[in-house]
A and B are shown apart, each in its own frame.
Chain A
Amino acid sequence: MQAFEYFQPKTVREAVQALHKHPKAMVLAGGTDLLVRMKDRVNRPPAVVDVKRLPRSDDLSYAGKTGLHIGAAVSMRQVELSSVAQSRFGAIAQGATFVGSIQIRNRATVIGNVCNAAPSADTAPGLIVHDAKVQIAGPKGRRTMTVEDFMKGPGKNDLKRGEFVLGIQVPAPKPRTGSAYVRHTPREAMDIAVVGVGASVTLSPKGICTAAGICLGAVAPVPLRATKAESILVGQKLTPGKIAQAALVASDEARPITDVRATAGFRREMVRVLTERMIKAASRAATPTRSRRAA
């Protein structure tokens, strides 16, 4: 790593000031991506602002009205182990569980995952199908925007000078909503998604799909919402045929590239296979069962 100055603000105001004063400073949360890039000297920030000691930065809480709040320093492991995340935000919790190892998940943060804006970010599809919003603090005060809009391209986000992400808010899902995320990797663990697919569905009491979200990871410069595939599901009973049709449309919507992990063609095919599986998994999660109630 190149030498840098280290700041550890205790208040949001101090953090904003430090970031404003050092325009090329980078925000350090878990550090599991940033420090690797700094060691490779891909990133050479002259200053690093550690946001882990801000008040309530490790706050992970849920309220019926406001939904799930994820603080700036909340780790993947916290989300993975959270029973409310597991039961109501399956795609997010599953995404967090796929990341690295326990050691990595104890450090890596959900917000860092979003800010790094890798197309393969494992929590992004879940956050996006759950319509999550980032809360941004900056010199001009606070603002919010959707995670979908916030991630701008590989490694690019919407933060301006002096800004950082304070938290993520995920609205409480409607009744009979379920979501799921899966990724394809050659290894069981410690890997990067070749393709990741998150899906959510909301069912009417009669089993008609009233809302659907499908988000594809690692097949476009940003996690990509497959809106055409979603619209095929809405208003329909989720028959195997409908689901297969939506999956096929999703694979058309993907814009994959060929890289060291896979060819574009294989990625497109994985989108079809995994989308089909995830719509089914989400709709199973949306269907109330006794055991799920009990949990």
Chain B
Amino acid sequence: MTHDIELTVNGVAHSVSVEPRKTLLSVLRDQLHMTGTKEGCSTGDCGACTVILDGKTVTSCLVLGVEADGSDVTTIEGIATCEELHPVQEAIVEKGGVQCGFCTAGIIVSSVALLNENPKPTPDQIRRGLAGNLCRCTGYTKVIEAVTDAAKKIKKPARRKVSKRK
């Protein structure tokens, strides 16, 4: 039996018919064909599938699609505007915070949420904030450097871009 749900993804409303056993991750990837969000473990341990659900980061592999009925979802595809990258995205590229790139979507979504809550985090706060996003390639040094750098840039005029997204 399927349920008809409505959810807003990156500002666009969608109506989807979902089986209860489909996760939000599966709805995004397989039904809405937004494959930027990755599945690394399916048990909530790696954070590759992180999205923002009603303002809070969640591992979308541990949320049922039906639970997200009526919700607002932001995925990696909704972080940049058409014109420009979000400062976190820009810094991840410029500072070498991406290697294989498979954890990157989750790291960026978590970092954007972290900076929305705490615009001036210490490196230790960034490390704690990204504890749920495993990265195997970088050893985290350049990821932390990138997020620190992005925070500095956001404090200046780019603020507007961040607050525009919910």
Contacting residues, chain A, for B23 (C-beta < 8 A): 35
Asked if residues B44 and A32 are in contact (CB atoms below 8 Å), the reply is: yes
A107 near B62 (CB under 8 angstroms)?
yes
**B107 CB → nearest A CB, Å:** 12
Contacts of A106 in B (CB 8 A): 56-58
Instruction: List residues 28-83 of chain B with CB under 8 A from any CB of chain A.
Output: 42-45, 47, 50, 56-59, 62-64, 66-67, 69
- Distance in angstroms between the alpha carbons of A106 and B64 in the assembled complex: 15
Q: Is B110 in contact with A35, judged by CB distance below 8 angstroms?
A: no
Assess the B59–A6 pair: CB atoms within 8 A. Answer: no
| Assembled-state Cα–Cα distance A36/B42 (Å) | 8
Interface assignment of A276: CB less than 8 Å from any CB of chain B? no
Kindly state whether residue B121 has any CB partner on chain A within 8 Å: no
**Which chain A residues lie closer than 8 Å to B58 at the CB level?**
103, 106-107
Counting chain B CB atoms within 10 Å of each CB, the highest count among A36, A77, A102 belongs to: A102
Q: In the assembly, what is the distance between CA of A65 and CA of B134, in Å?
A: 44
Residue numbers in A under 8 Å from B89 (CB-CB): none
Interface centre among A1, A107, A189 (most CB of B within 10 A): A107
Binding site for B on A (CB under 8 A): 1-6, 8, 28, 31-32, 35-36, 38-39, 48, 50, 52, 77, 100-104, 106-107, 188-190
User: Considering the complex of A and B, which 3 residue pairs feature the smallest CB-CB distances, nearest first?
Assistant: A101-B132, A189-B131, A6-B20
List 16 interface pairs A-B (beta carbons < 8 Å), by A numbering.
A6-B66, A8-B66, A8-B69, A28-B64, A31-B63, A31-B64, A31-B67, A100-B44, A102-B57, A102-B129, A104-B62, A106-B57, A189-B128, A189-B132, A190-B132, A190-B134
